[in-house]
Structure 1
Amino acid sequence: MKKNSYIGISFIVLLFGIWTVKELSERFKENDLKVLTKVPSFELTDQNGKKISDKSYLGKVYVVEFFFANCLTICPIMNKNLVQVQDEFYGNLDFGIASITIDPEHDTPAFLKEHAKTLGVKHPNWHFLTGNSDYIMNLANKGFYIQAGKDAKAQGGFGHSGQFALIDKDGNIRSRKDKFGNPILFYDGLEQAGIDALKEDIKLLLEE
């Protein structure tokens, strides 16, 4: 083989080595998702009558929403979008969802089980959670800082946010940053852009 051929092959090998190192460094470098705070402690009952707490989700990346089953405004959109997220990560047992009702008087475990069935919920780590009303309202507003409450003027009698919280495997609330470098805090559960961002960041956290 001619000398020039050896040089050519060596150059290709060198380029391949550089590309491989770069690819690995990009894959394993720390992501830019901001740690906001620890997830508040909670314990509620799911659609199967099982006690589920924040500790049940340790080791998993999960999404938290506050909703109610009889909501006819934003909740159906939020639930539908979470089904999309579920389908993206179906089969991954390191992923989960916590859907917490703000209407526990109506949303019993049995009712939530039917609601989950209607939605097409199939991921074993998607829990629809219910419990004491005051406890849940305190958890939403003072634990997660996601607005929720009774509102006689609102359709269905409750007003609440359409935002999702993203939690990492260690129980930290995480978020991406906006173009100014500020954390967005929560993910828009109503627009596709917010869902796309959520799915991208779930993937990042699953790789940690």
Structure 2
Amino acid sequence: MKNKSYIGISFIILVFGIIFIPRIIKKINQEEVTEIDRLNVPGSKETSEDLLVSIGKAPKFSLTNQDNKTITNEDYIGKVYLVEFFFSTCPTICPIMNKNMVELQNYFDGEKKFGIASITINPAHDTPQVLKEHAVHLGVNNPNWHFLSGDKDYIYSLANKGFSIFAGENKDSEGGFEHSGLFALIDKKGNIRSRKDDFGNPIVYYDGIEAKGVAALKQDIKVLLSE
């Protein structure tokens, strides 16, 4: 059953990459006009703008964290941070995503300008108290790692329309929900940033499940922290 779930999730991510990434870039750039930077010619000195594409402004949000405090996108200004959509009772990819986020937290241990926003897609269950217990269970020690909950419709709009990162309810899926395993990377000014693939196209979001995605984030977060 789990193997089928992983195959289904992989298919969702593949379809997302083929169909939706070009639409996301077009959509964001229609709302926030941003020039996509080009890589310099080989041998030239590359800047962070050359290495990491600026996709556009990350959506605004206002949610409640595990300490019952209101957290908004403004709380992350001046910080490099990651955004994920998950739920605490997820039996499939969320434990892997959580593990990888903890790895990134530990890799940047002591870095005050690094943060994480983990937004639940099951707010009916994932109350601040539940999310607090989940954070303790994971070993979260970064004060800028907020586990966020709020109104369900608001969160689904933020995921599917704001970030265009798929999240939905499905009673036939394990755990009752479906979502991608993607991480969004946001720079200190609130812009979505990403590296380019081998063909020079922006990947937009990072694979939060595979080790290669974590490795890429370690490199690219370093770049943005140095800005």
Given that residues 77 and 190 in structure 2 are in contact (C-alpha distance below 8 angstroms), is that contact kept between their aligned partners in structure 1?
yes
Letter paired with 1:130: S
Letter paired with 2:117: A
Aligned-pair CA distance for 1:153: 1.0
Match of 1:164 among 183, 204, 207: 183
User: Where does structure 1 differ by over 6 angstroms across 4 or more consecutive aligned residues?
Assistant: none
Aligned-pair CA distance for 1:90: 1.3
Distance in 2 (CA, whole Å) between partners of 1:38 and 1:153 is 35
What is the alpha-carbon root mean square deviation over aligned residues? 1.3
Given that residues 41 and 53 in structure 1 are in contact (C-alpha distance below 8 angstroms), is that contact kept between their aligned partners in structure 2?
yes
Aligned-pair CA distance for 1:31: 4.1
Letter paired with 2:212: A
TM norm structure 1: 0.86
Aligned partner of 2:159 in structure 1 is 140
Distance in 1 (CA, whole Å) between partners of 2:50 and 2:224 is 8
| Identity level (%) | 62
Aligned partner of 1:122 in structure 2 is 141
Aligned-pair CA distance for 1:152: 1.0
Residue 52 of structure 1 pairs with residue 104 of structure 2: no
Aligned-pair CA distance for 1:111: 0.3
Secondary structure class of the residue paired with 1:40 = coil
Given that residues 31 and 204 in structure 1 are in contact (C-alpha distance below 8 angstroms), is that contact kept between their aligned partners in structure 2?
no
Find the structure with the greater CA-based Rg.
Answer: 1
Distance in 1 (CA, whole Å) between partners of 2:165 and 2:92 is 17
Decide whether aligned partners of structure 1 residues 119 and 29 sit closer, same or farther in structure 2, where only a CA change above 3 A counts.
closer
Given that residues 46 and 128 in structure 1 are in contact (C-alpha distance below 8 angstroms), is that contact kept between their aligned partners in structure 2?
yes
Please show how residues 57-206 of structure 1 align to structure 2 within 5 Å.
57-206=76-225
Please list every run of 5 or more consecutive structure 2 residues that lacks an aligned counterpart in the other structure.
1-43
Please list every run of 5 or more consecutive structure 1 residues that lacks an aligned counterpart in the other structure.
1-24
Decide whether aligned partners of structure 1 residues 183 and 49 sit closer, same or farther in structure 2, where only a CA change above 3 A counts.
same
